Amino acid sequence: MGRLYKKITTRYVSAAGKRCRKSDLDAQKIQTKSKKWWADYRDAYGILTSRPLARNKQVAQQQLNEIERLVERQQAGLANPVEDQAKRPLVDHIDDYICTL
């Protein structure tokens, strides 16, 4: 089962409001949450994966449920292993081929 969360980003700003290093004397720590919901889940190979989803929590939960269904189908051997490649534009495949020459 995956989990939904909002990613927290930390940055440091000076008294003037400009970005600065953490080690600067007047640095103030600012933490912000992402606008999008993020999901942590294990893929078909058991690798922990993170990816951004929708801004709406209910939509993000539906997307996570769909991802988990796809992972279960892949583990059962029911999903097409080349489905991701089939969705890529033909131009990308041609560029990859030219790069191998």
Residues 50-97: tens digit of each pLDDT: 999 999 999 999 999 999 999 999 999 888 878 878 889 999 999 999
C-beta separation of 38 from 4 below 8 A: yes
**Average pLDDT of the chain?**
93
State whether residue 41 is helix, strand or coil: strand
C-beta separation of 52 from 36 below 8 A: yes
The H-assigned helical ranges of 22-89 are: 57-76, 83-87
pLDDT band at 1 (very low <50, low <70, confident <90, very high): confident
The total of structural domains in the chain comes to 1
Domain with 14, as residue range(s), is 3-100
